[in-house]
């Protein structure tokens, strides 16, 4: 299957700082990537859909000015958590859709963000 990487895998930062998370498709091109967030013992929740060459589409309740998404190329999408607060601490996972008719998505390994 396709491979998606994420960097960093873990980050600890102070409140008020900004954190950038990268998501790369390693062996395929992805015009669309998805960003999810997962709190402990909760399901993955879609935050936004990242579209190459155009603006991201955010889910209801997700602040676009706080979670900046840039899909600069067909293999890279970045999520920047601006002015992070402790409540932003979570597991952030990106994914890219596969080519199968059942729309399988390939997930990155995730980024665990801890805001102190």
Residue ranges in contact with another protein by CB under 8 A: 1, 32, 34, 41-46, 49, 91, 93, 95, 97, 100, 102-105, 107-110, 112
CB of 80 to another protein, least distance (A): 20
Neighbours of 6 (CB within 10 A): 19
Nearer to another protein, 80 or 105 (CB): 105
For another protein, the closer CB: 69 or 108:
108
Minimum gap (Å) between residue 95 Cβ and another protein = 8
| Helix, strand, coil percent content, the chain, rounded in steps of 5 | 5, 50, 45
Burial pattern 52-71, b for ≥16 Cβ within 10 A else e, equals beeebebeeebeeeebbbeb
Nearer to another protein, 12 or 83 (CB): 12
């Amino acid at each position: 299957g396709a491979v998606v990487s994420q960097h960093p895998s873990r980050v600890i930062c102070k409140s008020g700082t900004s954190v950038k998370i990268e998501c790369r498709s390693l062996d395929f091109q992805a015009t669309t990537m998805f960003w999810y967030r997962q709190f402990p013992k909760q399901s993955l929740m879609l935050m936004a859909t990242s579209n190459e060459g155009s603006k991201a589409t955010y889910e209801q309740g997700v602040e676009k000015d706080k979670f900046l998404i840039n899909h600069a190329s067909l293999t890279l999408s970045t999520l920047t958590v601006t002015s992070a607060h402790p409540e932003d601490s979570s597991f952030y996972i990106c994914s890219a859709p596969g080519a199968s008719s059942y729309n399988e998505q390939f997930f990155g390994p995730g980024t665990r963000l801890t805001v102190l």
